[in-house]
Amino acid sequence: MINRIILLICIISANQIFAQKEVLGQYPMGQNFYIGGIDGLNKEMVKIVKEQNIPPCENIAEEYTVQVLVNEDSSINYVKDFDSIKIQKNKCAFDISRKLIPNLKRWIPAKEQDKFVAAIAKIEIKPFYLYYSKDEPRKNETKNPVYSKGMASFGNEVTSIFQSRINKNEDKRSALLFVVNEKGEMEDFKIEGDYTESEKKSIIKDLSRIKGKWQPATFNGIPIKTRLRQPLLQNFDLQMQAEEMRRSADQNIYNNRYR
């Protein structure tokens, strides 16, 4: 009962803050909410994690976005997050955020019409990134996954598999999505576009038989899981497609180290 009363008081207090003064839903374009901007914020969070030896989450994909109200005097209040499902799924990252935020002291209030106003700031907490980051986060090194036989070879194999399902004069557009895990293995294949469910299952079965090995992506030398997305069209020159696939893969890699 006591816990419920305290929680209710906190929610009412937050509502009163919003009701009694002007609050911007986000910072005006070009304004930073922390001294040094995002780089300065990340550097300070990395320092806190190392000094307090805060370990990363067991699930390296966990992350949590904290919303804080930065007041005119640079003090802050948490903005209540009512998404209990999201919090539960990222409980470790949520708990770490509660250890980090109180140690951050260099908030900058928003400014509008030459006066300071309260505004909401969003801070992404990515425990894996913070724990394994270099002291100077701008010097972090992320390397993309590399196919052992070369991206051109991989492009040719994928092209061959997809083209075997295309009839003459058919116009099909699709996309291949898959994950290269920390061991360099392909997994979690998904096919988007103009194929039936039966065709998609058959294509995925053939894709899983590709024998080449991958060197996994790395973050500061640590293997990480990476998701790739490759758009595919019907009529294209194989060599041009292989080269395009290499370029596109470089551009469309999405790190899953905190997702």
| pLDDT 10s digits, 23-60 | 999 999 999 999 999 999 999 999 999 999 999 999 98
- For residues 92 and 147, membership in a common domain is answered with no
Query: What is the full DSSP assignment across the chain?
Result: -HHHHHHHHHHHHHHHHHHHS-EESSPPTT--SBTTHHHHHHHHHHHHHHHTT-PPPSSTT--EEEEEEE-TTS-EEEPP---HHHHHHTHHHHHHHHHHGGG---B--EEETTEEEEEEEEEEE-HHHHHHS-SSGGG--EE--EETT-HHHHHHHHHHHHHTT--TT---EEEEEEEE-TTS-EEEEEEEES--HHHHHHHHHHHTT----EEPEEETTEEE-EEEEEEEESS--HHHHHHHHHHHHHHS-EE-TT-
User: Does some domain include residue 174?
Assistant: yes
- For residues 239 and 198, membership in a common domain is answered with yes
- For residues 176 and 248, membership in a common domain is answered with yes
User: Does some domain include residue 4?
Assistant: no
Whether this prediction's pTM lies above 0.85 is answered by no
Q: Which two tokens stand for residue 67?
A: 């919303």
- For residues 107 and 44, membership in a common domain is answered with yes
Which amino acid would we find at residue 186?
M
Query: Tell me, what's the pLDDT at 213?
Result: 87
**Residue 226, pLDDT above cutoff 60:** yes
User: Does some domain include residue 94?
Assistant: yes
Buried/exposed 74-98: b ≥16 CB within 10 Å, e otherwise? eebbebeeeeeeeeeebebbbebbe
Query: Tell me, what's the pLDDT at 41?
Result: 97
User: Does some domain include residue 1?
Assistant: no
Query: Tell me, what's the pLDDT at 259?
Result: 43
User: Does some domain include residue 2?
Assistant: no
Chain length of the chain: 259
- For residues 122 and 45, membership in a common domain is answered with yes
- For residues 117 and 159, membership in a common domain is answered with no
Q: Which of 105, 138, 171 is the last residue of a domain?
A: 138
- For residues 217 and 131, membership in a common domain is answered with no
The band of 237, judged by pLDDT with boundaries at 50, 70 and 90, is: very low
User: Does some domain include residue 6?
Assistant: no
Contact 232, 173 (CB under 8 A): yes
- For residues 55 and 148, membership in a common domain is answered with no
Mean pLDDT of 115-122: 96
User: Does some domain include residue 83?
Assistant: yes
Q: Which of 91, 109, 138 is the last residue of a domain?
A: 138
- For residues 164 and 110, membership in a common domain is answered with no
The rounded percent of the chain whose pLDDT value lies above 70 is: 79
Q: Which of 98, 120, 138 is the last residue of a domain?
A: 138
**Residue 77, pLDDT above cutoff 80:** yes
**Does residue 222 come out as left (phi exceeding 0), alpha (psi in the -120 to 50 range) or beta?**
beta
Q: pLDDT for 134-178, tens place per residue?
A: 999 999 999 999 998 888 888 888 888 887 776 655 667 788 999
The whole domain housing 221 covers 142-255
Give the integer Cα–Cα distance in Å for 25 and 120: 5
- For residues 148 and 103, membership in a common domain is answered with no
- For residues 48 and 93, membership in a common domain is answered with yes
Tally of domains in the chain: 2
Q: pLDDT for 91-101, tens place per residue?
A: 999 999 999 99
Residue 111 or 169, more confident = 111
Q: What is the CA radius of gyration of the chain?
A: 24
User: Does some domain include residue 80?
Assistant: yes
Q: How many C-beta atoms surround the C-beta of residue 249 within 10 A?
A: 19
Give the integer Cα–Cα distance in Å for 37 and 167: 54
- For residues 125 and 164, membership in a common domain is answered with no
Contact 222, 136 (CB under 8 A): no
| Displacement of CA 164 from its chain's centroid (Å) | 35
